[in-house]
Structure 1
Amino acid sequence: MLREELMKMLDGREDDMIALRRHFHEHPELSFDEKETAAFIARFYEDKPVDVQTNVGNGYGIIVTINGKQPGRTIALRADFDALQIEEQTGLPFASKNPGVMHACGHDGHTAYLMVLADCLIRLRDQWEGTVKIVHQHAEEMAPAGAKSIVDSGLLDDVDEIYGIHFYPDHEVGTVFYTSGYAYAGCSDIKVTIQGTGGHASQPHRSNDTIVAASSFVMNLQTIVSRRINPYDMAVVTIGSFEAVGSSNVIKDSLVLRGDARYMDLEVGKVIEEHFHRIGRGLEEMYDVKVEIDYNSDYPPLYNHPKETAKAAAVLEKHGVGSYLNQVIATSANTGAEDFGQYLLKIPGAFLNVGARPNQVEVFNNHHPKFDINEKALLVAAKSVADITLAALAGE
């Protein structure tokens, strides 16, 4: 039977997943600069009976098309492969060889498990119907990110469903957890430049002080959440950088603020953006300064389609629990951002989370310089996505 053969094949390829994960971990590359990583992935599929499209989207995206024994449904599976600008402190024997760059979010593992799963599906292609598209995505971590450009390429227009996973070290290996509906927050990246009139601190009346104006702006932004958003809706507005270095006796001529807005609904995101600009216009009038706002909504809220999410959870409950899984858990939404949401704006599907708690006592979460995953989670991810894929191909 196909499923039993696929699961047995994955069991025999666990060491390959680990080896691939360690290779990627040792050779991380930043978003939009993943040239060698992409080339390595493309070489993996050389001489295999698949169609490989490279340089997809606004970077090094790759789409691998695997055709089954005859036409049927088309299912896409996605894994990201970019790293972060972090100096690794894990002490692992396969730690990053690229100074200041680290796989601190598990993308090395995402790519490794999916490559091996793809290879197994290729080897068994005469036993299943339909098409599987493997999406190796560049630049998840850095706006404008890679997902939207891959969607805009049109190469996924024929996809019926799409699925992806993310590793998290705060859940035990053998656990898959998910959220139906809004699962991850949308995220907007914001840059605000305020131009005033500089001058001497002894003559403030001859200047238009940007620090005073910016301070008022930062405080007033908090009224967006407290007074413009329904209390039942999730929203966060943060100014994380206030760049105004200068001398103590100089009134600053210009400065830059950088911030972040998060929300679980696209309409809430629109309200935040609208009022950001309104407060900016008011600041110009009140302080006689010029305000330029660069507001980029690059990561939409990730909305897991309830029907596909329920089907995926049911498949894992049926086939996974008691075998390679201990639990399948419905959880609350994650306020982090994930550009997988771009695919789900157009294609039905779901994004699930896989427990990957390391064996050490202290656990370091995603984006920490000591972040690591338990490599046993690679096989769990491969089997989970394999079961979901077979069910989706069969229309179950």
Structure 2
Amino acid sequence: MINIKQEVEALEEELIDLRRDFHMHPELGFQEFRTSKIIYEYLNNLGLEVKKIAKTGVVGLLKGEKPGKTLILRADMDALPVTEKTGLDYASVNKGLMHACGHDGHIAMLLIAAKILVNHKGQISGNIKFVFQPNEEEAGALDMIKEGVLEDPKVDGAFAIHLWTPLKSGEIGLAEGPVMGALEEFELTIMGKAGHTGSPHEAIDPILASTNIIQTLQSIQTREIDPLLPTVIMIGKINGGTGRNIIADKVEIGGTIRFLFKDEEKEKGILLEKFERVIKGICEAMNVKYKLDFIPSNPALLNNQDMVNYVRKASIETFGVDDNFVKYRSMAGEDFAEFSQRVPSVLYFIGNGNEEKETNYPHHHSKFNLDEDTLKYGVEMHIRTAIAFLNNKN
């Protein structure tokens, strides 16, 4: 019989050391070269079958001593282009880059879970693929799927954990059905005619047109979409103009469109048509031209009811209580959604928000940090869900 808590606690110092090392050395998507190398060597030293996939991705295969199903346990690896301002002893040493979303903790938890599960493969029926995914922030999961991560052996289910500061430490965010939003990104260029601000009639001002577009786009989500279908249109960047007395020749705008629709493909097409209709109409009215590019990201993340049940049972065993569940959904995008669209899956949230430890900053914030006392719970949850799923013959 495995004493999971005892084995996890024995490795807690290594768990935290791993997390801090990854935190100090963040790397952007598909550039996780150091991270990937460490993971590959760690899994190889455990005796797993290890391979590189999707540029910097790593997959370690554990074969149980009895035949059975195949399960994915997934962690994401990439960091963000954020300048860290935490002041931590283990703050990022890579200028302008930061693990501001918890992926450093995800990697460390899955490595330690693999280390413990390897020692008990005699009690495992089937296979576990420890999947370390690159480029989650820009949809790297699909690259892994295209390169066969769900095959050889064929995958029957997938679990993933997201450490989550909007939830209090000790809480578990768990829900069935759609739990994270589908995401489309966009790049929009508004093109006018440069000129002197003292002679605006001789120019065509793209900045004025852009301000109209930015404000009017908000009317789509409040006036044209069913209020029971969450929709969020956000502008993340604007760039235009070179001087205070110069009318710009163009303005570049970038942002995201997030949604949770019942019929995702159909409703998404309608939404994007509305989006471009607003832009086209304003541009025609204000005599400017435009160029609009949609950048597909990820579909909605769908949690399977049976997989949710595994997590619920494992959580009660891990935390010893059954009143720490929060039925949680978020409009943030998460490309584990690609797995969830293909095999029974669940992504759940382990709360990390602790005001006293200053781990309650939002994700992608320059002062984001993790409550490291929660990492051991993530390891235990990985182990319990994996064993329960693989040893259930139904």
> TM-score of the superposition, structure 1-length normalised?
0.90
Measure, in 1, the Cα distance between the counterparts of 2:252 and 2:142: 28
Give 1:156-195 correspondences, 5 Å limit.
Answer: 156-157=150-151, 158-195=154-191
User: Is the CA contact (8 Å cut-off) linking 1:21 and 1:108 kept in structure 2?
Assistant: yes
Give 1:189-338 correspondences, 5 Å limit.
Answer: 189-201=185-197, 203-265=199-261, 266-267=264-265, 268-317=267-316, 319-322=317-320, 327-338=323-334
1:368 aligns with 2:365: yes
Identify the range of structure 1 (94-103 vs 131-140) with the bigger mean alpha-carbon deviation: 94-103
Identify the range of structure 1 (188-197 vs 33-42) with the bigger mean alpha-carbon deviation: 188-197
Unaligned runs of 5+ in 1: none
Unaligned runs of 5+ in 2: none
User: Is the CA contact (8 Å cut-off) linking 2:15 and 2:375 kept in structure 1?
Assistant: yes
Q: CA deviation at 1:329?
A: 0.8
User: Is the CA contact (8 Å cut-off) linking 2:172 and 2:349 kept in structure 1?
Assistant: yes
The C-alpha deviation readout for 1:280-306, integer Å capped at 9, x for no partner, is: 333443333321101112132222122
Measure, in 1, the Cα distance between the counterparts of 2:382 and 2:184: 30
User: Is the CA contact (8 Å cut-off) linking 1:313 and 1:328 kept in structure 2?
Assistant: no
The equivalent position to 1:14 in structure 2, one of 6, 12, 15, is 12
The equivalent position to 1:132 in structure 2, one of 128, 131, 134, is 128
1:31 aligns with 2:29: yes
The C-alpha deviation readout for 1:66-105, integer Å capped at 9, x for no partner, is: 1000221111000111222222232322222222222222
Measure, in 2, the Cα distance between the counterparts of 1:384 and 1:361: 23
User: Is the CA contact (8 Å cut-off) linking 1:174 and 1:327 kept in structure 2?
Assistant: no
Measure, in 1, the Cα distance between the counterparts of 2:238 and 2:22: 35
The C-alpha deviation readout for 1:235-279, integer Å capped at 9, x for no partner, is: 111223332224454433222111221111234433322222223
1:153 aligns with 2:153: no
What secondary structure is seen at the aligned counterpart in 2 of 1:285?
helix
User: Is the CA contact (8 Å cut-off) linking 2:184 and 2:297 kept in structure 1?
Assistant: yes
The letter of the residue matching 1:290 is: K
User: Is the CA contact (8 Å cut-off) linking 2:11 and 2:112 kept in structure 1?
Assistant: yes
User: Is the CA contact (8 Å cut-off) linking 2:357 and 2:371 kept in structure 1?
Assistant: no
The C-alpha deviation readout for 1:37-65, integer Å capped at 9, x for no partner, is: 110111112243321111x12x3111111
What secondary structure is seen at the aligned counterpart in 2 of 1:166?
strand
The letter of the residue matching 1:44 is: Y
Q: How many residues of Structure 1 are paired with residues of Structure 2 in the alignment?
A: 387
Measure, in 2, the Cα distance between the counterparts of 1:176 and 1:30: 28
Q: CA deviation at 1:382?
A: 0.9
The letter of the residue matching 2:207 is: I
What secondary structure is seen at the aligned counterpart in 1 of 2:214?
helix
The letter of the residue matching 2:275 is: F
User: Is the CA contact (8 Å cut-off) linking 2:241 and 2:249 kept in structure 1?
Assistant: no
User: Is the CA contact (8 Å cut-off) linking 2:213 and 2:278 kept in structure 1?
Assistant: yes
The C-alpha deviation readout for 1:100-127, integer Å capped at 9, x for no partner, is: 2222221111111100111111121122
